[in-house]
Structure 1
Amino acid sequence: MKGQYTTGEIAKMAGVTTRTIRYYDNKGVLSPSSHNSSGHRLYTESDFIKLKRILALKYLGLSLEEVKNTESQSFEKKDIINSLSLQKNIIKNKINYMKVVLHAIESAENSIEDEQNIDWNKTIDIIKILEDEKELLQQYIDSSNLDASVKLQDRFSSNRHGWYKWTFNNIKLNKKYKVLEIGCGNGALWSKNIDLLDKDINITLTDVCEDMVNNAKKNLSDYSDVFDFEIVDPNNIPFEDESFDLVIANHILFYMKDLDKVLKEIKRVLKVGGHFYSSTIDSNNMKELESLMKGFNSNIKISEEKISSKFGMENGQEILSKHFSQTKRYLYEDKLVINDSKGILEYIYSIPGNIIELVDTKKKDFEKYIDLNINKHGNIYITNNQVLFESIKL
């Protein structure tokens, strides 16, 4: 490499525009080492290394002002790894959002292709229905959100059992049973209790999302003789009447567009005398976390509506009683004790909603805000009450 480079040369080397280089100079982020006789900027090899550092920090979500501050503050390897991890969650969330939008577009496109003439009313109705479902669908199919939620529970739960151990202990399993799980996610209920599971039992794990099924299959790959894996729409369960002794729906019923139809399908495939276990949250679940985020920006929404209003601790028993003769309720009382900002940020950045959009350009400010709250209080306590319903088909 030669000793000095013009604005155009250093821009080409870094893969950016000359306008970007001039902008960084004007903002005092990357000043040239010297100027030639004509007054043009000249940059050295050390300037080029600095430029690469700036571009890397910008990718990690830092503003130009924050990039400037790193000159006077330590920004270590652990900080880069942390930023990359959080940025990964943000990108996964954005990808998942775009998948939902793509699904809406493709469905409308297929509808138009099937018609001889364009029925605009029908097309608009299809898009509107899919848009209405977007918030719920996005969270339901997002495996990164589920993974972050499981990590959050494992790390910060104050209940000594933990949700998955507690749930497993309250489910009445028999080694002769045929078991169906609707919305298995990453298979956490089983992978976390695999040592307690009778290896003669037959369990079919299903999910509407192929990524979820693949994750569950990967996590339980050593137990393929116990588990079967299928992609299944809960609205149309592809099994014969009275096929299963036990059906489980762990934290997924509040995502169903037509819950009544899903419950009828579950009842249909459940044997007479069979048990159906479904779980949900109460209306105060994670209320402190939402309040914390709204303290940074009052427009932040976790979802457009409280999912507990669709199927929650308060109304779940009544909803289930329309389809099943007996329903018991088991309460799981818990608080998450958050003492580390990285752990909670990992979860926050995976939550569907408008969070990413609102903090995208102020990510470091948001992370500093979370840090300050944890340091100020020592711990952040978050309500994590959940409930397991046990229903019987008579």
Structure 2
Amino acid sequence: MKEKTFYTSGEFAKMAGVTIRTIRYYDTKGILKPSHRNSSGHRLYSDIDFVKLKKILALKYLGLSLDEVMSTELSNFKKDEMVNSLKLQKNILQNKINHMKTVLNAIETAEHSIENDDNLDWNKTVDIIKILEDEKELSQQYVDSSNLNASVKLQDRFSSNEYGWYKWTFSKLNLKSECKILEIGCGNGALWSKNIGEINEGLDITLTDVCEDMIKEAQKNLINDKEKFNFQIADPNKIPFQDESFDVIIANHILFYMKDMDKVLSEIKRVLKKDGCFYCSTIDSSNMKELENLMLEFNNHIKISEEKLSNKFGLKNGKSILSNYFTDTKEYLYEDKLVVNDRDGIIEYIYSIPGNILEVLETKKKEFESYVDKNIRQNGSILITNRSVLFESKKG
């Protein structure tokens, strides 16, 4: 029989790529006791201990605190939990990347401003950085497809509206045969992929987005019908088409992300034909309020941007903003209640929300999931308001 191998603390730490101090700390905390001690009382670890250590390190990387790791039956950490934890870490990294992009943009803008001024104006420099930092949450959500995909999935699973947002929106569009259509900020192409059987032949449809990843996502979702669409990366601030090129332009839940909305609306008006239709949608301030309250009750430092988005371009002020560029604006109200009775269904969406939530939950994941699960069990479900508006405007 093969003799069992034991390792000293130093050997054990080196194998795992951690410090001896970490190994000793885990022993002191009771999270990983050595299998044996030699006659001098020194710790000796086995291959079985090494497997336990690798599980601990994996769980730590996936965002669990030491206390959470200690309360988790390591061998019972299920596949679904592992997948959700990996998604959490992916979103954390993506949010950090987006944050760094925003900071870099702020620095470059401030640098350019300083270089073009004869004197250093600290007030102006600080104001530039503050404005860009305040818009961090908006830029994160706009460039990242993970939140959009999770939002679509959440609505598909739990909507109580018989149509659902995308089918309801499509039913309001007056898309005549042979007309040229432009969608600005097409995201993952859900408006079209969910209504593919309703698209009339002869339509010339161009889908654009500022983000290359979004265009790739839309192409993937429409792969079986790609001949019906043109795909192009395009900046809404400088739409790369000639004047009066399109009969219909669509901007679905994206105008509130625009830093210079006047510039974007001017560009849309420019490329829209005379008597053409512009459809755009936005949210009401009550949208997702119950979800925000749920998170704030767990930790009042959590921030989500629904109210901020609706203040910029929402149900209350959208028609007034559009009246500066278009005529005959009509509004269609979409009201829905998401009846969420599955913890994992709502957790996946919450983990995708940009802002500070991932930072707050980074070491409290299991605690937060238990809190959400408890709310669902006590009430049978979590009801979430899903209230949006679609505007239809004309170019006179």
TM bucket (normalised to shorter chain) is: over 0.9
Task: Report the counterpart of residue 21 of structure 2 in structure 1.
Answer: 19
Q: Out of 373-382 and 352-361, give the one that drifted further.
A: 352-361
Give the distance between the partners of 1:58 and 1:119, measured in 2 at CA: 46
Give the distance between the partners of 1:105 and 1:47, measured in 2 at CA: 48
- Superposed, 1:163-174 pairs within 5 Å as 163-174=165-176
Give the distance between the partners of 1:268 and 1:335, measured in 2 at CA: 37
Q: CA deviation at 1:105?
A: 3.9
Q: CA deviation at 1:198?
A: 2.1
Task: Report the counterpart of residue 256 of structure 2 in structure 1.
Answer: 254
**2:223 pairs with one of 212, 221, 224:** 221
Which amino acid letter does the alignment assign opposite residue 232 of structure 1?
A
Give the distance between the partners of 1:351 and 1:255, measured in 2 at CA: 15
- Superposed, 1:338-357 pairs within 5 Å as 338-357=340-359
Give the distance between the partners of 2:173 and 2:160, measured in 1 at CA: 22
Flag the 1:229–1:104 CA change in 2: closer, same or farther, 3 A. Answer: farther
Q: CA deviation at 1:169?
A: 0.9
Give the distance between the partners of 1:123 and 1:136, measured in 2 at CA: 21
- Superposed, 1:1-394 pairs within 5 Å as 3-71=5-73, 74-108=76-110, 111=112, 121=122, 124=126, 126-303=128-305, 306-394=308-396
Task: Give the alignment's TM-score, normalised by structure 1.
Answer: 0.93
* Conserved 8 A contact 1:135-1:304: no
Q: Percent identity?
A: 67
Residues paired across the two proteins, number: 393
Flag the 1:330–1:77 CA change in 2: closer, same or farther, 3 A. Answer: same
Q: Encode CA deviations 1:75-99: one digit per residue, 9 max, x unaligned.
A: 3333323333343333333333333
Q: CA deviation at 1:119?
A: 5.1
Q: Encode CA deviations 1:243-298: one digit per residue, 9 max, x unaligned.
A: 11000000011111221221111111111110000001111000000000001011
Q: Encode CA deviations 1:86-143: one digit per residue, 9 max, x unaligned.
A: 433333333333333344345556x389769895656555433422322211111111
SS of residue in 2 equivalent to 1:154: helix
Flag the 1:262–1:229 CA change in 2: closer, same or farther, 3 A. Answer: same
* Conserved 8 A contact 1:112-1:118: no
RMSD of the TM alignment (CA)? 2.3
Which amino acid letter does the alignment assign opposite residue 348 of structure 1?
I
Task: Give the alignment's TM-score, normalised by structure 2.
Answer: 0.93
* Conserved 8 A contact 2:283-2:310: yes
SS of residue in 1 equivalent to 2:206: strand
Q: Encode CA deviations 1:196-232: one digit per residue, 9 max, x unaligned.
A: 1124211111112121122112222333332222222
Q: Out of 195-204 and 321-330, give the one that drifted further.
A: 195-204
Q: Out of 304-313 and 73-82, give the one that drifted further.
A: 73-82
Flag the 1:116–1:281 CA change in 2: closer, same or farther, 3 A. Answer: closer
SS of residue in 2 equivalent to 1:334: strand
Q: Out of 89-98 and 305-314, give the one that drifted further.
A: 89-98
Q: CA deviation at 1:237?
A: 1.4
